[in-house]
Structure 1
Amino acid sequence: MSGYLRTAVLLAGLTALFVGVGYVIGGQQGMVIAFLFACGTNLFAWWNSDRMVLRMHNAQPIGPADAPRLFEMTQALANRAGLPMPALYVIHEDQPNAFATGRSPERAAVAVNTGLLDMMPEREVAGVIAHELAHIRNRDTLIMTMTATIAGAIGMLAQFGFLFGRGDTRQNPLGPIGAILMMVLAPLAAMVVQMAISRSREYEADRIGAEIAGDPEGLAGALLRLEGYKQGRVNQAAEANPATAHMFIINPLSGLRMDGLFSTHPKTENRVAALRALGGGGLRPPVSGPGARPMPAATGSGPWSGGPSGPWAGGRRAAAPQRRNPWGR
């Protein structure tokens, strides 16, 4: 119930922001139109935001035949978390990263960048997947995916008001100055909501993800490696859709490294310190679901793509991974 309550509060706040932008664009008439538009956007986001975000990042669905080791690991972790097996997607991006989406555990999906599978040891990938499953179990995916959709719509509405409402002082009660302020402040306000949601939920997902995997150090190492490997690797889809940045395990955008008001994620060093404190005795056993089974051991007999020429072998990166065609397709 708490997840639904957080969603209701978030939607109420963003709807109020929508209405305020509409008022600045067109007075009372614009406020009514914006309210109707906000209601439609909320309904759309509830039913379609997960698919929309996956399309934004050109995520492609994969099956057990495409990545048997990844499927086996994800299934084992989902069992330990008491969750259904999520759908798996791959994003062809060099930057190692991942996110989860979906309005419920039964409709959840986990998307991983090919850079993550190419560059990271199996233990750390398990930590990343467990972190995303923690978001699913907490129903953060609904909140964060809807936030991404609605925040993007607020930005577009503000730009629309600047382009078409700045010269009509009868409909725009604040005139051209108000239109300019709206174009800057409305997306900024939506972004602050995103950041407040994301930053508070990341610490909790780290903690629960460490419990699911039973390995705080694996997730801590993954965060450090992700932070280091993202430098110099631009995530083009994330840069084109910055409203989705808060969904990733590590901020995919370039130039945002501070742990201040305008960072979508807590500072990686702070997250790592919290995880390593769990390793000192604060870690609880993972929750086991029906049919729970132990984590699959690395066999050393093949990479994630299921063949001897793929990017992984026994949890280590192969000497010359087939980066442009990691799934044999």
Structure 2
Amino acid sequence: MSYARTALLLAGMTGLFLVIGYMLGGETGIMIAFIMALGMNAFSYWNSDKMILRMHGAREVDGQSAPELYQMVADLARRADMPMPRVYIMDNPQPNAFATGRNPENAAVAATTGLLEMLSHEEITGVMAHELAHVKNRDTLIMTITATIAGAISMLANFAFFFGGSNDEENPNPLGMVGTILIMIFAPMAAMVVQMLISRTREYEADRIGAEICGQPMWLASALNKLDKGASLIDNHRAENNPATAHMFIVNPLHTRKTDNLFSTHPNMDNRIAALKDMSPSQSAKRTSRSKLPQSNQPTKGPWG
């Protein structure tokens, strides 16, 4: 259902782009704006991991400099049957983490020093499993495609200054000047909303897959509870200076309202934790008992048995 919703949102954004492009510049306007936006986002796609890691002051670690974290990620990557990603640590007191990279073969996971200090071994395992789920699900690729289309829509809205107003055969605009003004105001806003909805959808899916990778949904649920509280109390100055990267983190690094509203980059934390609790063996056992079905006493195993 999550993938179907993502595909539907991408299709809706693409349709919005095509309609706006035709209204402002016809077929020529569509092609020019899309090629320019594609070029800019292609550069970001191939270089985004290096740019973002540098932006947040991340330093790469290995089995010698951070043996426990590195071995944890290696074990989880084996369980997920995926290549070992590069591992980074950010010197930042706010507990948080993110994944980046254009595909599983060129991926990186990064955790803050605040996360490593605040969370238990099991909770860190849940967080790293969540980030590996993003890599396994190719969420970076999905968000790059979304950013490409959103960038094209914003560019078309800017082109309204030049293409809008007229209503001749070469540059048809059925809504005239009023339509142009509406496009300039609401098109980028609509693209931003769809982009945020896709980001939130991918977070729910990464929670689910991450819980399956580590084998213990409650590890991640407990981690999310601590991260949500910690992120709300501790500033992340690098993220505040680069708010466009906020959607990448496991919890919102910016100090905003926690309600699951239309403009939130992350789902409501209570909803995420509730979904993970529903996956836990204890909740499954309770539902089985209530339905009078045979109850299994076999616990779900973590990455080290």
Q: TM-score if structure 1 supplies the norm length?
A: 0.71
SS in 1 for 2:60: strand
Q: Does 1:226 find its partner at 2:236?
A: no
Unaligned ranges ≥5, structure 1: 288-292, 296-329
Match of residue 257 from structure 1 = 258
Structure 1 residue 278, shift from structure 2 partner: 1.8
Letter in structure 2 aligned against 1:157: M
Work out the percentage of aligned pairs sharing the same amino acid: 53
Q: Measure the CA separation in 2 of the matches of 1:218 and 1:155.
A: 40
Letter in structure 2 aligned against 1:144: M
Q: Does 1:38 find its partner at 2:48?
A: no
Match of residue 324 from structure 1 = none
SS in 1 for 2:47: helix
Alignment of 1:198-209 (within 5 A): 198-209=199-210
State which drifts further: 108-117 or 53-62. Answer: 53-62
Q: Measure the CA separation in 2 of the matches of 1:191 and 1:10.
A: 12
Deviations 1:51-89 (A, max 9, x none): 344344343333333212110111111111111111112
Structure 1 residue 21, shift from structure 2 partner: 5.6
Does the Cα contact within 8 Å between 2:6 and 2:201 map onto a contact in 1? Answer: no
Match of residue 194 from structure 1 = 195
Letter in structure 2 aligned against 1:64: G
Structure 1 residue 9, shift from structure 2 partner: 7.0
SS in 2 for 1:294: coil
Q: Measure the CA separation in 2 of the matches of 1:59 and 1:18.
A: 35
1:157 to 152, 155, 164: 155
Does the C-alpha gap of structure 1 residues 167 and 13 become closer, same or farther in structure 2, counting only changes over 3 Å? closer
Structure 1 residue 120, shift from structure 2 partner: 1.9
Q: How many residues align?
A: 285
Does the Cα contact within 8 Å between 2:130 and 2:206 map onto a contact in 1? Answer: yes
Does the Cα contact within 8 Å between 1:50 and 1:145 map onto a contact in 2? Answer: no
Question: What is the aligned-residue RMSD (CA, Å)?
Answer: 3.6
State which drifts further: 232-241 or 245-254. Answer: 232-241
Q: Measure the CA separation in 2 of the matches of 1:119 and 1:181.
A: 47
Q: Measure the CA separation in 2 of the matches of 1:10 and 1:269.
A: 24
Structure 1 residue 195, shift from structure 2 partner: 2.4
Does the C-alpha gap of structure 1 residues 24 and 128 become closer, same or farther in structure 2, counting only changes over 3 Å? same
Unaligned ranges ≥5, structure 2: 286-298
Q: TM-score if structure 2 supplies the norm length?
A: 0.76
Q: Measure the CA separation in 2 of the matches of 1:181 and 1:117.
A: 47
Match of residue 57 from structure 1 = 56
Does the Cα contact within 8 Å between 1:59 and 1:111 map onto a contact in 2? Answer: yes
Match of residue 311 from structure 1 = none
Does the Cα contact within 8 Å between 2:216 and 2:300 map onto a contact in 1? Answer: no
Q: Measure the CA separation in 2 of the matches of 1:86 and 1:226.
A: 23
Structure 1 residue 250, shift from structure 2 partner: 1.0
Q: Name the one with the larger helix percent.
A: 2
Does the Cα contact within 8 Å between 1:148 and 1:244 map onto a contact in 2? Answer: no
Q: Measure the CA separation in 1 of the matches of 2:64 and 2:129.
A: 22
Does the C-alpha gap of structure 1 residues 57 and 30 become closer, same or farther in structure 2, counting only changes over 3 Å? farther
Structure 1 residue 177, shift from structure 2 partner: 5.8
Match of residue 72 from structure 1 = 71
Does the C-alpha gap of structure 1 residues 112 and 176 become closer, same or farther in structure 2, counting only changes over 3 Å? farther
Q: Measure the CA separation in 2 of the matches of 1:155 and 1:212.
A: 37
Q: Measure the CA separation in 2 of the matches of 1:239 and 1:176.
A: 37
Q: Measure the CA separation in 2 of the matches of 1:20 and 1:66.
A: 53
Does the Cα contact within 8 Å between 1:251 and 1:265 map onto a contact in 2? Answer: yes
Does the C-alpha gap of structure 1 residues 55 and 130 become closer, same or farther in structure 2, counting only changes over 3 Å? same
Does the C-alpha gap of structure 1 residues 207 and 38 become closer, same or farther in structure 2, counting only changes over 3 Å? same
Q: Measure the CA separation in 1 of the matches of 2:17 and 2:57.
A: 28
Deviations 1:18-65 (A, max 9, x none): 555656766665433202223324543543343344344343333333
Match of residue 211 from structure 1 = 212
State which drifts further: 216-225 or 86-95. Answer: 86-95
Q: Measure the CA separation in 2 of the matches of 1:278 and 1:246.
A: 24
Does the Cα contact within 8 Å between 1:154 and 1:187 map onto a contact in 2? Answer: no
Does the Cα contact within 8 Å between 1:110 and 1:132 map onto a contact in 2? Answer: yes
Alignment of 1:295-310 (within 5 A): none
Deviations 1:159-217 (A, max 9, x none): 8558xx27974489577765654454233222222222222222222222122222222
Letter in structure 2 aligned against 1:98: A
Deviations 1:234-260 (A, max 9, x none): 333333443332222112222131123
Match of residue 118 from structure 1 = 117
Does the Cα contact within 8 Å between 1:148 and 1:243 map onto a contact in 2? Answer: no
